Each structure stands twice: as C-alpha cells, then as structure tokens.
Amino acid sequence: MQKELWKKPDTYFVVVPVLAALWAVAAGAVFYPRSVTAWQTEKGRYAEAENLLAQILEMEPERLDYEAQKGGSSDFDYTAEVDRFAKELGIPSSDYTLTVRQALKQRDRMRRSADLSFQSVKVETIAGFVSAMLFRWPDLQCEQITLEKIAGAKNEWKVKLRLLYYY
C-alpha cells in the first residue's frame, strides 16, 4: 500500500506544499532570528575593532608608513631591535646575550636567525618582550622558547629564544 501511495501524483500535491510551509515556518522562526543576532554580534565586533584601530593610529601614526621610512623590511637588525625592546621593558643589557647567524637563502627569501638568552627575567617581562617584537616585525618568528626556573627565586627564569626573520 505504501508503494502505491508514493506513485500517485496527488500525494506530491499535498506533501510538497506541506514541506514548503514547514521550511518557511522554520526559516521565519529559527533561521532568520539566528542570522539577525549573528549580524548584530559581528557589527559590534567591527565597531570595537574600528575603535582599536583608530586608537593605534592615534598613538602611533608612523606605523602606516614604517616600512617605507626604513627602506623596506630587510633593514631589520637584531641587535638594535633587541636593545630597544629590552630597554623599553627595563631589562639591563648585562642580563641577556644575543648570537646572530648569517643570512641564508631559503625558497626565494632570505632567512636570518638568532639565539637570545636571558639569565634572569620575569615571565611577564619576557612575554611582553616577545609580544612587542613579533607585533612590530610581522616577518619575525619565535621558533623556539625554553624556560628554566631559577632555584630559590620566586618568579625568575632563564629563558632561551630562537628567532627567525624572513625578508
């Protein structure tokens, strides 16, 4: 009997409009409200991001043309940048050692690596250092980081970083 029911064209004249009506109800009651809330959420996120970008541009407008000022991204110098960011974060130059390796060609780009080790630094300070360096130089990567707690100190660590810069 069921096979015969699906063979009759009258069944489709009833089933198809019922399914279409169910789809319309579901779209109006479920899908549309979800899309409206998702739209409002994304609109709010966009407004927040726009405000943050305006604040960044207000504080440091030179970031827009930084690469043009310096003559390109290949002017990155490990020594100068590490000294600058260490000084900003209050890390004395006697507390770290920097070893820079020669540049190597790798897939149509040049790559320069460096090892940076801190004798005694707080976790918050090293996190700020790495974050600031990577934020300022987008082509810089922190390939490896090693933390070793100094015995007897509450929040002092020996830190070793392997940095890679592509240009």
pLDDT in tens, 9-27: 888 888 899 999 999 999 9
Residue 17 in tokens: 């409009």
**DSSP state string for the chain:** -HHHHHHSHHHHHHHHHHHHHHHHHHIIIIIHHHHHHHHHHHHHHHHHHHHHHHHHHHH-GGGTTHHHHHTSGGG--HHHHHHHHHHHTT--GGGEEEEEPPPEEETTEEEEEEEEEEEEE-HHHHHHHHHHHHHH-TTEEEEEEEEEEPTT-SS-EEEEEEEEEE-
Residue 164: the pLDDT is: 92
Could you tell me how many residues make up the chain? 167
* DSSP β-bridge partners for residue 144: 162
pLDDT of 41 strictly over 90: yes
pLDDT in tens, 55-109: 888 887 766 665 555 544 447 788 989 999 999 888 888 889 999 988 888 778 8
How many whole angstroms separate alpha carbon 54 and alpha carbon 77? 29
**pTM across the whole model:** 0.55
158 versus 166: the higher-pLDDT residue is 158
Mean pLDDT throughout 134-147?
88
pLDDT of 148 strictly over 50: yes
142 versus 3: the higher-pLDDT residue is 142
92 phi and psi angles, rounded to 5 deg: -65, 150
- Domain-wise residue ranges, the chain: 2-58, 72-166
Residue 74: the pLDDT is: 47
How many whole angstroms separate alpha carbon 45 and alpha carbon 67? 28
> Regarding the domain delimited by 72-166, which CATH topology (the fold level of the hierarchy) does it fall under?
Alpha-Beta Plaits (3.30.70)
